Amino acid sequence: MQYSLLSTLLLALLSLSRASFNAGCSNHKPRTIVVDQSGHGQFTKVQQAIDSVPTMNSVWTHILVKSGIYKEKVIVPSDKPCIVLEGSSASKTIIEWGDAIEVVKSATFTVYAENFKAKNIMFKNTYNENTRPGDKYPIKQAPAFQVTSDKVSFYRCRFISVQDTLSDLQGRHYFRSCYIEGAIDFIWGYGQSVYQGCLINATTGILGRAGYITAQGRDRATDSGGYVFNRCIVVGTGPVYLGRAYGAYSRVVFYKTSLSNVVKPQGWSSWHYPGQESKITYVEAGCTGPGADMSGRVKWEKTLSNEELQSLADANSFVNQDGWLQKQPF
């Protein structure tokens, strides 16, 4: 990442997203929309279905996307909340595009709206997919998904790219049984998120060097952001760090997670903040596997009290304080 340029772009983007429409979602007479490439639904494109949702929507709208590869770039604007997007399975319903111009504008799928839920879909950015070690042209930032809003959840979804795969930028998010693939900073941003039972695949073999799973950007000690990986599995094709600091108070927790031998012995990097490591909160607790050997870890990795650890590891206390997850239907 080009840190100074991205920071400027993100500040503008986050300011815009804070002005998003905010209202509750009603289960009274929920709508269902079918997207089918064969023409057996209301629409053949996912963006067409999103566009059909009324402005200032307040009724849960279920968009069913039939099997197929949907080659399109999709945006859910802030004035279209209360959407559940569901595919047939993450191996059969695929939304893909190949863009890498500017990281905050290049995602295959972008959500600005609150109260969004995705199930059983693959989101893919194909820009770097043919990269091989030693290639002349460098890998570029090419997100598969970008989320900048609150109360967003994902179930059994797949996110595939190489660099900046998942732009987890702002708001509270919950990922359950998802698959996330990438090599460089492939889960990054300022979000406040729990990854529960997810498979993290570091495809760093294409780099010929070590990569990074997370680049979390918490800027102040009072910020609520951070990434928590609860009972996940980390595998890969080459060496990888668990994370590097994208903000001075970056916060990432791996809890009861299986770490394969691709994890670098040092575990973490302070990146832009050498000498400020005391502000960073990087934690491993109850992890297993050959990559969980702590003997070579950076000396500044934190140890939290059991109370502090549980407040982060428990989705209800960290991201679901007002019970929004239970209110999402389908």
Q: Would you please indicate which residues are annotated as catalytic (active-site) residues?
A: 164, 185
Centroid of chain to Cα 176: 11
Residue corresponding to tokens 């495809």: 203
Enumerate the β-bridge partners of residue 175: 154, 195
Tokens standing for residue 179 = 């698959």
Written as one letter, the residue type at 71 is K
What's the burial of 2, exposed, middle or buried (CB within 10 Å: 0-12/13-18/19+)?
Answer: exposed
> Cα(212)–Cα(183) distance, rounded to whole angstroms?
6
What is the DSSP annotation of 100-156? -SSGGG--SEEE-SSSEEEES-EEEE-TTTT--TT-SSPP----SEEE-SSSEEEES
| Radius of gyration of the CA atoms of the chain, in A | 19
Neighbours of 28 (CB within 10 A): 7
